[in-house]
């Protein structure tokens, strides 16, 4: 027998999240930690110091734990204090964010996304030249 509509709806939502890669996306706060860790390995106290007073020790620990669970960081528990290092490059995370955004907002249509940026005046003359050059390379 099938479950209730609510259960089916939850399963669909979870499947949509997994398909879109949203379970592994890095949140804005996690990006703040990663920006520091992409510069090199670091301990939790070093991270907390770099992040400043607005981040408590518990908050830093929570985000480090989440990032490890997502497979973005690894922790060396043999050292004390534990040392955290990035397993995924900034470029890889940027790519995942771009793909997620493109799929979620523009249904995967790059042309529509670029056209929207152009229409909204988000593209400078310099950026337009770079884009033309890239497009010429694709056509050539």
- Mark which of 86, 103, 130 sits at the end of a domain: 86
Q: Which helix (H) or strand (E) holds 101?
A: helix 90-106
The number of helices, as runs of H, and strands, as runs of E, in the chain is 7, 3
Domain that holds residue 76: 25-86
**Do 62 and 112 sit in the same domain of this protein?**
no
Helix (H, G, I), strand (E, B) or coil at 87: coil
Task: Flag whether 15 is in a domain.
Answer: no
With respect to residue 2, please indicate whether it lies within any of the assigned structural domains. no
Q: Which pLDDT belongs to residue 20?
A: 34
Q: Tens digit of pLDDT per residue, the chain (140 long)? A: 434 333 333 333 333 334 333 357 899 999 999 999 999 999 999 999 999 888 998 999 999 999 999 999 999 999 999 999 999 999 999 999 999 999 999 999 998 998 898 889 888 889 889 988 988 898 76
Structurally, how many domains does the chain consist of? 2
For residues 102 and 117, membership in a common domain is answered with: yes
CATH of the domain at 121: 1.10.4040
User: In whole angstroms, what is the distance from residue 114 CA to residue 72 CA?
Assistant: 29
- Contacts of residue 41, defined as CB under 8 A and 6 or more positions apart, other chains included, come to 76, 83, 84, 85
Decide: 104 and 113 in contact? Cβ < 8 Å.
no
């Amino acid at each position: 027998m099938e479950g209730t509509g609510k259960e089916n709806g939850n399963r669909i939502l979870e499947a949509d999240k997994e398909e879109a890669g949203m379970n592994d996306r890095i949140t804005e706060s996690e990006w703040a930690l990663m920006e520091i860790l992409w510069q090199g390995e670091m301990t939790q106290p070093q991270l907390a110091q770099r992040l400043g007073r607005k981040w408590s020790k518990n908050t830093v620990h929570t985000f480090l734990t989440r990032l490890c669970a997502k497979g973005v960081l690894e922790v060396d528990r043999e050292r004390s204090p534990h040392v955290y290092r990035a397993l995924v490059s900034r470029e890889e995370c940027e790519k995942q964010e771009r793909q997620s955004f493109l799929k979620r907002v523009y249904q995967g249509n790059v042309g529509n996304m670029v056209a929207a940026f152009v229409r909204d005046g988000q593209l400078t003359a310099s950026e337009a030249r770079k884009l033309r050059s890239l497009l010429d390379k694709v056509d050539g």
